[in-house]
Structure 1
Amino acid sequence: MRIRTIGFVLLPLMSVVAENATPQFDAAAADRFAQLALACVAKEYPNKISHVLNSDADVAPPRKLTPAFCGCYDWHSSVHGHWLLVRLVRTFPDASFADAAREALKKSLTAENLKPRRNRRACCETGSGVSSLGEGGVELLASAD
């Protein structure tokens, strides 16, 4: 009964969506996403740190643990926010947000800021975190910037 009820609700909605225009991802949509990422990539707190502690040296604020990716509530979300900015700048290089995005990326993704990630213990990484970081790297390589 419950599935049937859900179907009666969803079917009319699906037909309305199908009749209307195809969703577009244009510069205006890109700007909205860019503003979300720009608002958080450098915002250190609030922050959820979740990692293995092997000694007192592993306890530090986000800006010390992962300086390149200390914003957006947690490391993983920050990696996604940076990837999003790189992708949007590559896709919309002349958009109104592009210069601010380039500056944010330039400030975050320095050799010094990335050093703690390079030195991170491989045994403690999660597959999704590493793959997200890799996706960002691929996007940077594809970028003209």
Structure 2
Amino acid sequence: MKVNLLKPDVYGATASIMCIIHCVATPILFIAHAHTHGTVDHHNHAAAPLWWDYLDFIFLFVSFIAIKQTLQKSSRNWMKYVLWLTYSLLFLLIVNEKIEIIALAESVTYGVAIVLAGLHLFHLKYCQCNDEQCCIH
């Protein structure tokens, strides 16, 4: 697979993967920090800085822009719906995680982020237009 850093699919897949790493690393980093420095909040959770808690939304913003740009040069009409559906689901899962409406396992969010990264990589390899004739506008 030829990778071009100017392709939005690369940015979208990278943002999804970074989001997964961020989500997996958060409990590990802050629990380890709390036990070594004694900084635990009243719910017995490690206290994370506010900027770290909302880093997810930066990844979501990058993914949003990547999907918008990706679909301008897509040769597959169905990809538009699948990417937006997966993105919307990931967005709702992250918002739910922040405001805790429904208790869900973290693995659900990880799975959707992995699917989104996979869709970007699939699109990068199989769904690119080479000319204006095949692209969906």
TM-score range, shorter chain: 0.3 to 0.5
**TM-score, with structure 2 as normaliser:** 0.38
The TM-score normalised by the length of structure 1 is 0.37
> In terms of Rg, which structure is larger?
1
